[in-house]
Amino acid sequence: MSDETKLLPCPFCGGKAVVHVNEGVCVICTNCESRTINLIDGRGNGRYTGGAIKSVIEKWNRRI
């Protein structure tokens, strides 16, 4: 797993995080159920844009 796709532990409880796919994509902590926003891939300029999984992982791993 590359550093781009590696999920950091939950910033609130230290629990394990997983990518959850169901009518969109989000990252959820398996312990406290904290989660990112739910994103879906879209279309732009007649092409699929992709990147929802990468985006939620980046949002999860971004720490203040």
Per-domain boundaries in the chain: 17-61
CB 27 within 8 A of CB 35: yes
The pLDDT value given to residue 63:
73
Residue 42 CB-half CA count within 13 A: 5
The pLDDT value given to residue 5:
80
Integer Rg of the chain from CA: 13
- Structure-token pair, residue 33: 């159920």
Is it the case that residue 57 has pLDDT exceeding 70?
Answer: yes
> pLDDT tens for residues 1-49?
566 689 999 999 999 999 999 889 999 999 999 999 999 988 777 777 7
CB 28 within 8 A of CB 16: no
Q: How far apart are the first and last CA of the chain?
A: 24
Is residue 15 classed as helix, strand or coil in its secondary structure?
coil
